[in-house]
Amino acid sequence: MLHLTVLLLFLLSLTFPSTDASVFGGEPGFYGDDATGYGPVFEDQPVETIYPEESPEAKITMSCRARANPPATYQWRLNSQSIDLDGDNHYTLVGGDLVISNPIKNKHVGNYSCVATNDYGTVVSREAGVRFGYLDFFSSEEREAVHVKEGQGAVLLCAPPPHYPHELSFRWILNEFPIFITLDKRRFVSQTTGNLYISKVDLSDSGNYSCFVSSASIAKSVFSKFIPLVPLTERWKYPADIKVKFPDTYALVGQNVTMECFALGNPIPQIRWKKMNGELPSNHDVSMAGAHLHLYNVQYEDEGTYECEALNSKGKDWHRARVSVEAFPEWTESINSTEKDISSDYTMSCVASGKPKPHVQWLKNSYAYDKRDLRFSGLTFKDSGMYQCIAENRHGVIYANAELRVIACAPTFEHNPVKWRILGAKNGRVVIECKPKAAPKPSFSWSKGTELLFNSTRVLIWEDGSLEILNVTEADEGRYTCFAENNRGQANSTGSLSITEATKITLAPSNADVTVGENTHMQCAASHDSTLDITFVWTLDAHTIDIDREGSHYERNLNGGSSGELLIKNTQLKHSGRYTCTAQTPVDNVTASANLVVRGPPGSPGGVRVEEIRDKSVRLIWSRGTDNHSPISKYTIQCRDSFSQEDWRDATTSPPDVEGNAESATVVDLFPWTEYEFRVIATNTLGTGDPSSPSPKVTTLEAVPVVAPSDIGGGGTSRELTITWTPVQPQYYYGRNFGYIIAFKPRDGYEWRKVTVADPGAKHYVHKDSSILASTEFEVKVKAFNSKGEGPYSLMAVIYSAQDVPSKAPTSVGARALSATEAIVWWLPVTQHTVEGYQVRYWRKAEDSETSSQRVVLSSRENRTRLDNMRPDSHYLIEVKAYNAAGYGPPSQHLQIYTKKAPPSRPPKIISKKLKGTSVNIAWEHVEPLANESTIDGYKVLYRQASKSTGTLFNTGKRSIDLPMHKDGDYIVEVRAYSEGGDGAVAQIRISGNTSIKYQRNTFTKMYKAPF
């Protein structure tokens, strides 16, 4: 019987060569092994199109192109109805593209889709809308003027004309095109309504305004009739009033959202944004002086209620609205083109995420199935075709396309024969793969030579046809043949098995213990079959080490072909772990492992949280981090508060030193009612580790204020007493409802009058009382309060109520001219204690009016000053007045002086320069003054280094001078005439250290200064 089996196998191997295959009749070869075509796959699909009604190009092109073999044919649908290309001359098919010529709005608007078909099936493209875009002109009616008081807010309405699409951009023209207003914290243009908002109108805002509207989709802009804005000169202050309010908003995951908020008010309100019950997202940005809050790449966690707060010194306003985050459909499980054996089972599954949850629909060759999954039991050729999965919610539609091809063919090894040579290591395991193409799945059998193989303890034929042999020896060498058979035919393929020596580890790595920064090595060597190549691969905790990419820390020492020692340089904590050396040949591999311990600074503590919150202390708790094989010796606590977000500083603890075995500490010396974050840092003998993640933010409890306002002062005007102070910094508020208590009384009075100011930013208080006498001394003091109580008073200060103007004029006023442009004036001080300073006025008697006089203002401590910028040879009048907060006192008698004639306007002409040993002689011509210039008193010679502006000044009545000669460097000689009117124009020469002289005659601006 055994001989008969062997004979049959032998005959079979002769009858069916290794790549033979036969196909039984009855089904088309189209679905067999020789099928080379494929169904349509879209490469270009239609997109949303806006056609400008005024477009000069009278056509619309909707794109469609599919890759297919054989090539696809195309049809188009409008609103799910097939388009009759022959019955409408507006439509033309160019390739797969649909061209709409001379489009008509009421006929060609709608949703278009492309249908591509070939012998393998049909697919439908995504839908794309065609819409007509337009932007009408503004009404030609005149716009009414807007009258508004100076300091009030104003809103100029845009009222854009009818348009499509809805997205517009807005700017405003001021007086004439193309002058557009500049947007800042005072002026804002809403990109939702187009309205222009001015928070506080100034007189400079007067003008004619026009709303300029642009539609990027149709490349068109229009502008409105001008709106006159007329400010009225009446200035008041108004609290913040939000006029631009963002609505409840839906945002899609991954998109950007912009919220608008703008307020009117005087002073100009500040805009602040926050998210209720949380922090503003890290992906936010604020622009337009606070009026725009942008959220970029929105995620689900950004959902929530957002608040815009507008505030100024007169009040505040706020607005809240919700941002709800939803999502476009997205595939979490999709379909792919596949081939399946006839009669097999198969499930096509599509799963989509999105918010709201998408509805999933199936198409086969453009016909609908309303199922979530398609399950096939016993596939037939009729199940072949093009399948589409469509997921849709209110935000959009996505498509997934795949071709299912059902195939049937006899086994064939043409493309995947059994390997012709298989190697196996002695005493190892060998797997010989057998993977013919066949449909349906074939049955398998194996032979060695002419011996049929069966499953045993050493030999196993797998379900996929592979042959496994365990503990192989040289006796297992030989030729092995795989036989495959199904109901359509059979085939076989043969390979040869050879046995090699097994690979063995001869030197294994050893455990090591190092400190961060040190070097170490892991040994590894192996014996192997001499006919095979060997390589060594190292892994750390099962992750392969890339020696080339991580060369700064790893290096392989190759000591012959059988060694793969690993050098680890500058070890870091991340290099700790289990190292495995794998010695591998094309046939087998062996491994050996060892542990590396790297000691270093501790890891960061975890789970930092705050408990037992008090006004000036908290209790901090954390979990120990890794000590990295060196015990933790101490912990450092750091904190930062809401007033210094970027500044981490060491916190004070009780006790001061936190031991290494601690997992909690009390932090003291904190500010009450302040938001804090904390972090913990561990230290051991090898260094300090990384900080922990910050704790959740906490706010300390409230406490009574301890800091008083400073710089108490003030004064008065008519029937008023003004008290001023420097406000307390916010970190010293210590609680909510912070404000000030002002106490004041006449200096000789006994009862303090107290007033409460609830504004924490207030800097002054004005007490109005018509009975207050002028120049009455008051004692004042100020203290802070909050919801927990009152703090200490400031130091007492003395101020004066409304003052009378000084009643006396300065006396003994004297003056004299210093030059053509300068004079000096002096007087006896006014003895009244209410004098705060003096004003000196001077003007030319004949040429100037008294109202255009020049003025010098001085403090009460001064009683003389220099007058400058005067005209040469002119008759001036001078007066002096005392002043205080109430105004100016009577002027002194007018004093008359005459400025001197102007100095010479012409520079000296240098006529000679002679070397005399170690000196140089410079000579010049006499300067003759003009009739309107003052007489020459002499000459000034400035001798300086060329690189400096100062030097040695010589005065001489002669017309020459000897100057010392220097060996090195260049020197400048400047010569000018001077007179009682000041210094004249200058002549200049350069003297070099090598004794050469260069002429350089420059006439500078006249210098009307008093002589040196």
pLDDT at site 968: 76
- Which of 982, 929, 936 shows the shortest CA–CA distance to 959? 936
Distance CA 910, CA 960 (A): 9
**pLDDT tens, residue by residue, 594-640:** 999 999 999 999 999 999 999 999 999 999 999 999 999 999 999 99
Query: CB of 325 within 8 A of CB of 251?
Result: yes
pLDDT attached to residue 32: 54
Whole-number Cα distances in Å, 464 to 316, 326, 448: 77, 47, 19
Q: Are residues 629 and 673 in the same domain?
A: yes
d(CA 169, CA 183): 14
Give the end of a domain, one of 742, 768, 800.
800
Closest to 336 in 3D by CA, of 408, 390, 386: 386
What residue type is assigned to position 920 of the chain?
A: V
Question: Number of helices and strands (H, E) in the chain?
Answer: 2, 90
d(CA 467, CA 430): 8
Are 714 and 689 in a shared domain?
no
Closest C-alpha to 210, from 167, 188, 244, 180 = 180
Query: What percent of the chain has pLDDT above 90?
Result: 63
Same domain, 587 and 610: no
CB atoms within 10 A of CB 636: 17
pLDDT band at 717; cut points 50, 70, 90 = low
Q: How many CB atoms lie within 10 A of CB 553?
A: 16
489 close to 24: Cβ distance less than 8 angstroms:
yes
Residue 468: its pLDDT value, please? 96
Phi and psi at residue 162, in whole multiples of 5°? Answer: -55, 145
Highest mean predicted confidence (pLDDT) among 728-742, 844-858, 909-923: 728-742
Domain match, 377 and 413 both: no
Q: Is the pLDDT of residue 26 over 60?
A: no
Q: Of 982 and 172, which is predicted with more confidence?
A: 172
Q: Taken in order 638, 639, 645, 647, is the CA torsion positive or negative? A: negative
Query: Quick one: average pLDDT of 274-300?
Result: 91
**Could you tell me which residue, 511 or 964, shows the higher pLDDT?**
511
415/401 same-domain check: no
Residues 6+ apart with CB under 8 A from 803: 715, 716, 774, 775, 834, 884, 885, 886
- Residue 381 in contact with residue 31, Cβ under 8 Å? yes
- Do both 687 and 620 map to the same domain? yes
Q: Which of 757, 777, 800 is the last residue of a domain?
A: 800
Q: Omega before 178 cis (within 30°)? A: yes
Which of residues 849 and 655 earns the better pLDDT score? Answer: 655
**250, two tokens:** 């839906």
If one compares 853 and 784, the residue with the highest pLDDT of the two is 784
Q: Looking at the structure, tell me whether residues 790 and 821 fall in a common domain.
A: no
**What token pair was written down for 851?**
């109202």
Q: How confident is the model at residue 471 (pLDDT cuts 50, 70, 90)?
A: very high
pLDDT exceeds cutoff 90 at 1003: no
317 falls within a domain: no
Per-residue pLDDT, 958: 87
pLDDT (mean) for 484-501? 94
Burial (0-12, 13-18, 19+ Cβ within 10 Å), 139: exposed
Beta bridge pairs of residue 490: 485
Q: What is the pLDDT of residue 15?
A: 36
* Cα 949 to Cα 943, 946, 1012, distances in angstroms: 10, 8, 16
Q: Is the pLDDT of residue 719 over 50?
A: yes
* pLDDT higher than 80, residue 868: yes
**Each residue of 550-587: pLDDT tens digit?**
989 999 887 666 788 999 999 999 999 999 999 999 99
Q: Can you give the pLDDT at residue 371?
A: 66
> Residue 718 — pLDDT band, cuts 50, 70, 90?
low
For position 402, what pLDDT does the model report? Answer: 94
Mean pLDDT of 854-872: 91
- Within-domain flag for 517: yes
In a domain, 650, yes or no: yes
CA 519, CA 513: separation in Å to the nearest integer? 10
Domain termination residue (choose one: 79, 105, 133):
133
Where does the pLDDT of residue 775 fall: very low under 50, low under 70, confident under 90, or very high at 90 and above? confident
In a shared domain, residues 11 and 65 = no
Quick one: 381 and 428 in the same domain?
no
Structure tokens at 536: 């060594």
Q: Does pLDDT of 967 surpass 70?
A: yes
* DSSP label of 23: -
| Predicted pLDDT at 69 | 92
Residue with more model confidence, 776 or 403: 403
- What CATH number has the domain bearing residue 178? 2.60.40.10
What pLDDT, on a 0 to 100 scale, did the predictor assign at position 372? 65
Residue 489 in contact with residue 523, Cβ under 8 Å?
Answer: no
Please check whether residues 151 and 225 belong to one and the same domain: yes
User: Is a pLDDT exceeding 90 seen at residue 236?
Assistant: no
Q: Is residue 566 located within the same domain as residue 527?
A: yes
Quote the domain boundaries for residue 546: 504-599
State which amino acid sits at residue 911.
I
3-class SS at 144? coil
In a domain? residue 420: yes
Please report the pLDDT score of residue 1 as a whole number.
36
The pLDDT assigned to 517 comes to: 92
Any domain includes 496: no
* Whether the predicted pLDDT of 31 surpasses 70: no
The predicted-structure confidence for 344-370, as pLDDT tens digits, reads as follows 999 999 999 999 999 999 999 988 876
Walk across the sheet containing 910-916 and list its strands: 910-916, 919-924, 960-964
Composition of the chain by helix, strand, coil, percent to 5: 5, 50, 45
Distance in angstroms between the alpha carbons of the first and the last residue of the chain = 140
* CB atoms near residue 570 (< 10 Å): 11
Residue 32 is assigned to a structural domain of this protein: no
Cβ–Cβ under 8 Å, residues 825 and 840: yes
Lowest pLDDT segment from 3-17, 489-503, 736-750, 984-998:
3-17
> How many other β-carbons are positioned within 10 Å of the β-carbon of residue 817?
21
Burial grade of 27 (CB within 10 A; 0-12, 13-18, 19 or more): middle
Q: How many residues does the chain have?
A: 1012
Residue corresponding to tokens 């297919």 = 68
What tokens appear for 964 in the block? 């010392």
Find where tokens 């592979």 sit: 466
Distance (Å, rounded) from C-alpha 637 to C-alpha 669?
Answer: 13
Angle at 92 (CA atoms; ends 91, 93), nearest 5 degrees: 130
pLDDT of residue 856: 92
Strand pairing report for 512-515 and 589-599: parallel
> What is the reported pLDDT for 701?
95
Q: Give percent of the chain with pLDDT exceeding 70.
A: 93
Pair 796, 817 in one domain: no
pLDDT value of residue 35: 63
Specify the number of domains making up the chain: 9
Return contacts of 275-282, CB within 8 angstroms, 24+ apart. 275/304, 275/305, 275/306, 275/307, 276/304, 276/305, 276/306, 276/307, 276/320, 277/304, 277/305, 278/304
Q: Is residue 275 part of a domain?
A: no
- pLDDT at residue 920, as a whole number: 87
pLDDT-derived band at 23 (thresholds 50, 70, 90) equals very low
Q: What is the pLDDT of residue 17?
A: 37
Instruction: Return d(Cα 194, Cα 172) in angstroms, integer.
Output: 9
Q: Say which range, 440-449, 456-465, 678-687, 710-719, has the weakest mean pLDDT.
A: 710-719
pLDDT over threshold 50, residue 486: yes
Higher pLDDT residue, 1007 or 802?
A: 802
Q: What is the pTM of this model?
A: 0.53
Sign of CA dihedral 972, 975, 978, 983: negative
Give the helix/strand (H/E) hosting 9: helix 2-15
CA distance 436 to 414: 8
Average pLDDT, the chain: 88
Q: Tens of pLDDT along 63-75?
A: 999 999 999 999 9
Long-range contacts of 964-968 (CB under 8 A, 24+ apart): 964/918, 964/919, 965/915, 965/917, 965/918, 965/919, 965/920, 965/991, 965/995, 966/993, 967/993, 968/993
How many Å apart are CA 488 and CA 773, to the nearest integer?
A: 123
Specify the pLDDT at position 436.
95
* Structural domain includes residue 301: no
Beta bridge partners of 482: 446, 493
